[in-house]
Amino acid sequence: MGPIREECERTARAGIGDEAYEAYERAFRRGASANLQAAPASVLDAASPIEA
């Protein structure tokens, strides 16, 4: 990870907290690994909000 990315992560974690940031990271990785057919279904099935 480069220094700019590390600074962005520190800023985001400070703003939203570690738990919310980790939830974002998990969702991002899940979305990044989805294929074009699975991605819309995944979004539509994700009806529950992130718990803070």
| 36 within some domain | yes
> Model confidence over 1-52: pLDDT tens digits?
799 999 999 999 999 999 999 999 998 888 788 777 776 776 777 655 555 4
| 50 within some domain | no
Residue 49 pLDDT: 57
| 7 within some domain | yes
Query: Domains in the chain: how many in total?
Result: 1
| 51 within some domain | no
Structural domain including 20 reads: 3-45
The answer to whether 18 and 52 are in contact (CB under 8 A) is no
Alpha-carbon span 7 to 2, nearest angstrom: 9
Question: Would you say how long the chain is, in residues?
Answer: 52
Residue 27 pLDDT: 87
pTM of the model: 0.58
| 18 within some domain | yes
Torsion of CA 32, 48, 20, 34, to 10 degrees: -10
Residue 37 pLDDT: 74
Instruction: Indicate the residue type of 31.
Output: G
| 52 within some domain | no
| 16 within some domain | yes
